[in-house]
Structure 1
């Protein structure tokens, strides 16, 4: 496991919505309330994405679109095309001429495909990702509200397979499509974070350093181990002073400060689990007793861990 593995561990497409748009321009589809993280791509044709807050951006065939924050947006052939369809959520959409209560249109064109015509030359695919907890929040904070990742050669096999699978109806088909989109998400994030202007999560770029990357992987694989700077330096074959300096330069914080912050991020999510207790969570993130853990959690997060338990509807243990 590494940093990106951990950030994406709970991120999975489930029942992704596939939307085949109008055959010929003008066409536009409005997405009223996308999930905190949504992925889109044009399998055929180009499109404009018009967020409610922000400037229109062009998405060409094969580009990957990422939106975060749940803000509404419209996808269309031009920035000024009025939407003909409004997607309310995964199960509800309506034609703007009918209004939300209208029943005049049937948008289902085939397996997992929706739109106003079955002969569409443009095919826009979206997937929504449920994002819950502090671990996922670290990923969301690293992304602008709207990201367009230009087509990359490594996208091509996944996009080709997605295009061939989108209209099929066989057992397990939705799982295949969802997993294809998950792989596209990982590829898109890697491509985006590699760009000079991107701001990846703390420690992400340090993964490329053979020694500091190894230390980060060790911290993420075994966060509960009682690590010391000397232990990590020995694992990476560096002196303690050189390791501490290099880690801080690449990651942005000293090794044990990074470990404490990551432990508290994990702990915040563990505290929200059913039947969680302060003592049990303390042990899972490397603290021998709940008192030391509670002090560390309050110092880093500004609230006591018992507060997280109460707001999650659980009884402190």
Structure 2
């Protein structure tokens, strides 16, 4: 496992909401109730992302875009075009001229397809990605409100297949679309974090260092192990002092602080699971008893872990 795999391990798409908008300029589609992360691709033409807490952002043909947060946003042919269509969740789409009561049945052009013209010149595909929990939050915090990944040859096969499958209604169609979304999301995140202006999650770029990368992978693979700076340094083939200094330089924080914060992110998600107890979670993230774990958790998160345990657990 690596950091990106860990951040996404619990957030595979399941029943993801896909939508493609087909239109002839001028056009604008408003997403009034977005998920924590939306992924879009401009298959034909170009568009602008307006809103989402940032200045208008241009998306060119075959670009992929990630929109973070729960703020409503608009995709339009120009930044100044007023929304003509509002999409509110998976089952409600309406024209602004008619209002939501009309429910927009005439706007449905086909499976997962909305717009005014089935053969319009511009085609934008979007999918909402449900990300939940503290581990996923670490990933979301590393993204800007809007991240545009310029077209890359590696995206072409995925985008071509997506364009075909999103129009289909065959057995298992949703599973195919969900897995395509998983692939496209991971590829887009990897490309974005490789860009100089990106600020990936702590430790992400340090994976490229053979020794520090090994230590990071061990922390993620075995978070409950009683790691010390000395044992991590030994695994990395470095002295304790040299390892601690190099780790802090590459990751931005000391190794045990990084380990503690990662353990607490994992623990927060575990505590919300049905049947979880403070004691059982404590053992999984490397604490001998619930008291020591509770003390560490409150120090890092400012709330006791018992606050996260479900009442029906």
Alignment match, 1:278: 278
Alignment match, 1:307: 307
Secondary structure of the equivalent of 2:53? Answer: coil
> Cα distance, 1:177 vs. partner?
1.6
Query: Structure 2 stretches of 5 or more lacking a match?
Result: none
Whole-Å separation in 1 of the counterparts to 2:271 and 2:80: 47
TM-score (norm. length: structure 1)? 0.94
> Cα distance, 1:314 vs. partner?
4.4
Alignment match, 2:20: 19
Alignment match, 1:7: 7
Residues 262-293 of structure 1: CA deviation (Å, up to 9, x unaligned) = 11111111111111111001011111111111
Preserved CA contact (<8 Å) 2:158 2:180: yes
Whole-Å separation in 2 of the counterparts to 1:104 and 1:226: 58
Moved more, 113-122 or 178-187: 113-122
Preserved CA contact (<8 Å) 1:21 1:120: yes
Whole-Å separation in 2 of the counterparts to 1:127 and 1:157: 17
Number of aligned residues: 312
Secondary structure of the equivalent of 1:29? Answer: strand
> Cα distance, 1:75 vs. partner?
0.7
Whole-Å separation in 2 of the counterparts to 1:52 and 1:297: 33
Alignment match, 2:180: 180
Residues 89-128 of structure 1: CA deviation (Å, up to 9, x unaligned) = 1111111111011156422222222222221222111111
Secondary structure of the equivalent of 1:62? Answer: coil
Whole-Å separation in 2 of the counterparts to 1:94 and 1:64: 25
Whole-Å separation in 1 of the counterparts to 2:56 and 2:104: 30
Q: Where does structure 1 differ by over 3 angstroms across 4 or more consecutive aligned residues?
A: 312-315
Whole-Å separation in 1 of the counterparts to 2:53 and 2:237: 49
Aligned alpha-carbon RMSD (Å):
1.5
Moved more, 106-115 or 36-45: 106-115
Whole-Å separation in 2 of the counterparts to 1:237 and 1:62: 44
> Cα distance, 1:136 vs. partner?
0.9
> 1:88 and 2:91 equivalent?
no
Whole-Å separation in 2 of the counterparts to 1:65 and 1:313: 39
> Cα distance, 1:313 vs. partner?
3.2
Whole-Å separation in 2 of the counterparts to 1:52 and 1:201: 21
Residues 16-61 of structure 1: CA deviation (Å, up to 9, x unaligned) = 2222322x21111110011111111111111111115321111011
Preserved CA contact (<8 Å) 1:21 1:27: no
Whole-Å separation in 2 of the counterparts to 1:306 and 1:164: 48
Preserved CA contact (<8 Å) 1:20 1:120: no
Alignment match, 1:40: 40
> 1:109 and 2:109 equivalent?
yes
Whole-Å separation in 1 of the counterparts to 2:307 and 2:178: 36
Whole-Å separation in 1 of the counterparts to 2:301 and 2:44: 46
Whole-Å separation in 2 of the counterparts to 1:17 and 1:11: 16
Moved more, 190-199 or 217-226: 190-199
Preserved CA contact (<8 Å) 1:272 1:308: yes
> Cα distance, 1:10 vs. partner?
2.2
The structure-2 alpha-carbon separation of the partners of 1:52 and 1:67, relative to structure 1 and needing over 3 Å to count, comes to closer
Whole-Å separation in 2 of the counterparts to 1:314 and 1:89: 29
Alignment match, 2:168: 168
Whole-Å separation in 1 of the counterparts to 2:257 and 2:195: 27
> 1:209 and 2:214 equivalent?
no
Preserved CA contact (<8 Å) 2:16 2:129: no
> 1:256 and 2:256 equivalent?
yes
